[in-house]
Chains A and B, each alone.
Chain A
């Protein structure tokens, strides 16, 4: 527990996503990181494997996705995957985690309950902002390393982590806590957690969509994670639109050189209402579609330039349900297999 994991600190650490056991999924708000984390858990659970999906921000997003009642602070099965695999989910409650911790290290559970009544636990997590993160990452590390009958209990742990803006601080607990708590058991604990987080069994995946801000934040996060010696996994481009137009027409439409007149001859036979007006409106929608596609494509090049294994997930129509999750999981599984072959 004493080492700081500095052995892994030298230069950029990257991680082979197929061999990692701890998958940390982050992304800017609105990019769908919870959905991606859930789909990744399903992908990893295929072929009879056991996966734990961890929620860290207390929003019960996982329960909503799997259409189950709000998750308590215990590991519950939320889905079954191919070949007898299973996904369990855990929503970490910081207060409960702290009580666990007090109990485990100091036999202080009862005192802890009294403290909670006084509002002291709220206070303790407030005066040391990093304490929350230490408790959460500590619980994650425990799940990753937990063994039963000489076997690892979970083949993989997937974390629906805080957003990109906070991810390095969340995972870099040692830095934050060593500034505040320069000694004591929390310090020792956070050092132990860092050793796991910085090891090649961890992969931090970044979810983005093809818009300016999320791509920019992804690039920033990769730089920050690299500087902190944390291993980066894949970039997941979520909700990518697929072009409906033939290639040769895309560029022309994006340039605005497509009008209703281009469509009228072929539309004439279809006996549609609206005539030229309809053709113009359809052309306007095509131009917008092509422009959106072109804007996304420019960002796709920026994502490629990040130099990480990348997987695109399609924008699915309708609300996300279990069927959607399995569809996305299928794409992620292909990606992991491809990464394995490449490695």
Chain B
């Protein structure tokens, strides 16, 4: 996988970083965006939920839901960054597509307020919506998208459709039926449904939903079309997916599901980033030998024996950890032999400034073979000889 060439290629217009929560999607997105700006692109990175210090270093202090330029000294391109405000994005859609009076009626509807701030899937839907807006504005020649921290990576692809199905669906049409045609046309099934919903949730909620849907209906041609249009954007040439995972079973399992799904949908996959690996500085000494040597050195005594023994134990632990990580990566590769893999070593602390992002960008975009230890960037440990 050559992410360096991918983000520098003018034909690449959208890069989506996806994966399970907590694997470093946001930092990966930001690092790729930085590398793109340094390669001369005019790039915007749409982040969903950055760590505070990272957000600060990207200048994301004002939450105005618009991209802000980040000063990158010496970069031939431009880096812009923004953080998604899902409620505001939703409010903006409502305002942009209706008269001020009608918009206000919707914005004040309690059901809308719950939907726009807590419906599961709203964040994914709004991330797609914002992506569509950024793409339409044509101010950037590359958009890098971080995806919401949902449990499942698939949510990013599924939630918008689920939500538009819901808003355009039969049930909600039925709910509106009374206000349009009177109860006599409603089916028996609906009456039962309506009775139960009223019983459980109280009649007020039904009235709120009905009012909301009625207002929404006259507003624009359906949520479904809108979600479909943005979804199609992800299938267009020039869009690439980068799946990010940590070297842990759960995260890699999620990555597997996602890779399968992308291939089923005909969406182009750039490859898998295994983030936060722990490659040893040398592989000349095995874990077993290092453990044995640690005992020998400690028994030998003398100045700095304790330190040297500790160093050997650190190395033994590191070799074991790296072996486990490589094993997990191998399992992924045996199931998906065609998917390119790039490993990104864990930083000693958190990545929260441009320098830290630059180190990560180098690990993401640098040539496969060019590493100080000689282990290619596709692996945690070198392949076994013979």
Residues of A within 8 A of B (CB): 28-31, 57, 59, 102, 106, 108, 111-112, 114-115, 118-120, 123-124, 126-131, 163, 165, 169, 176, 179-187, 211-213, 216, 244-246, 249, 262-263, 265-267, 269-270, 272-274, 277-278, 280-286, 288-289, 291-292, 294-295, 317-319
Contacts and interface: CB of A to CB of B under 8 A. Distances in A.
A244 B111 contact: no
Interface stretch (B19-27, B97-105, B133-141, B359-367): B19-27
A286 B296 contact: no
A59 to B, nearest CB: 7
Contacts of A183: 202, 204
Nearest to A267: B308
16 contacts: A28-B21, A30-B23, A115-B196, A123-B171, A124-B200, A127-B201, A130-B118, A181-B204, A184-B199, A186-B200, A213-B22, A244-B317, A263-B311, A282-B282, A282-B314, A285-B282
Given A112-B196, A128-B114, A183-B202, 15 more contacts: A29-B149, A30-B21, A30-B248, A114-B189, A118-B189, A119-B171, A124-B196, A176-B114, A184-B199, A211-B350, A244-B310, A246-B307, A265-B303, A289-B314, A295-B348
A288 B296 contact: no
A176 B309 CA distance: 57
Interface residues of B, number: 72
Given A119-B171, A277-B282, A281-B281, A270 B350 contact: no
A263 B289 CA distance: 17
A286 B348 contact: no
A295 B349 contact: yes
B379 interface: no
B20 A282 contact: no
Top 6 A-B pairs, shortest CB-CB distance: A30-B22, A29-B21, A281-B282, A266-B308, A295-B349, A291-B348
Contact of A292 (B193, B307, B348): B348
- Chain A CB within 10 Å, residue with most, of B202, B285, B317: B202
Contact of B281 (A29, A270, A285, A291): A285
Contacts of B320: 317
Contacts of A127: 111, 197, 201, 205, 209
Contacts of B317: 244, 317
- Chain B CB within 10 Å, residue with most, of A126, A169, A181, A183: A126
Contacts of B314: 244-245, 282, 285-286, 289
Nearest to A123: B171
Interface string B128-172: 000000000000000000000101000000000000001001011
Contacts, number: 207
Contact of A180 (B166, B201, B282, B352): B201
Given A102-B196, A120-B193, A211-B350, A187 B202 contact: yes
A126 B201 CA distance: 12
B17 to A, nearest CB: 16
B249 A319 contact: yes
B192 A111 contact: yes
Interface in B290-335: 293, 296-297, 300, 302-315, 317-318, 320-321, 324
B281 A284 contact: yes
Interface in B209-225: 209
Contacts of A163: 21
A182 B202 contact: yes
Contacts of A292: 348-349
A29 B246 CA distance: 12
B254 to A, nearest CB: 11
A208 to B, nearest CB: 12
B178 interface: no
A185 B280 CA distance: 60
A34 to B, nearest CB: 9
